[in-house]
Amino acid sequence: MKILEVSNLNKKIGEKTILNNISFTIEKGKVLAYLGHNGAGKTTTMRIVLGILDKTKGIIKYNGKEIDYNSKDFDEIRKRFGVMLDTPAFYNEMMAYENLKIFASLYGLEKSLFDERLNYLSEYLEIKYFLNSKVKTFSKGMRQKISFIRAVIHYPEIVFMDEPMSGVDPVMRVKMRDLIEKLRD
């Protein structure tokens, strides 16, 4: 089943073409790796699909229906997406738990379900005992783990990850890939 379809996506800034006729499909339960060299437009593509940037032309469909980024329906669609940007932003003076709780509430996740999922994910990613620490004290790898949890805490239909393994040690990279496999079912 096709969840997301991107057809002939183009992005121009002035006279410069950033994206030229990009097309792909994401099917339920599948993992899509969108690869390219630095500056190829991977992050731009993701930001357009998420409604952060405007496209020049092209069609983006969610569950067979073209997305209207200006409609109230898009707010509901957005809740079905998980996002892990290349440079995760947090409230640095707040504890990791508080940061995650704020984002879970934006997805409408009930506290009991949030606590259950956070317990599982933080234990799996070996960060459970750091949840009551301020994010500003975290290494890049620890911030990536918190960003990963934030992206999947609500068990979204689609997860967009931009450089998810950056700064993560090799053992944890394997664990994160394994967790992605577990969550896609």
Residue 157: domain span: 80-185
Percent of the chain with pLDDT over 90: 63
Q: Are the CB atoms for 173 and 146 separated by under 8 Å?
A: no
3-state SS of the chain: helix, strand, coil percent to 5? 40, 25, 40
Q: State whether 176 and 96 are in the same domain.
A: yes
Predicted pLDDT at 163: 84
Q: Are the CB atoms for 150 and 99 separated by under 8 Å?
A: yes
Domain end residue (candidates: 55, 78, 101): 78
Q: Does the predicted model carry a pTM greater than 0.75?
A: yes
Domain count of the fold of the chain: 2
Residue-wise pLDDT tens digits, 35-55 = 888 888 888 999 999 999 999
Percent of the chain with pLDDT over 70: 99
* Contacts for 130 with CB less than 8 Å, ≥ 6 apart: 96, 138, 142
Q: State whether 28 and 113 are in the same domain.
A: no
Predicted pLDDT at 164: 85
Q: State whether 96 and 182 are in the same domain.
A: yes
**CATH assignment at residue 103:** 3.40.50.300
> Of 27-36, 109-118, 130-139, 141-150, which gets the smallest average pLDDT?
27-36
Residue-wise pLDDT tens digits, 48-87 = 999 999 999 999 999 999 999 888 888 888 888 999 988 8
Q: Which amino acid is at 155?
A: Y
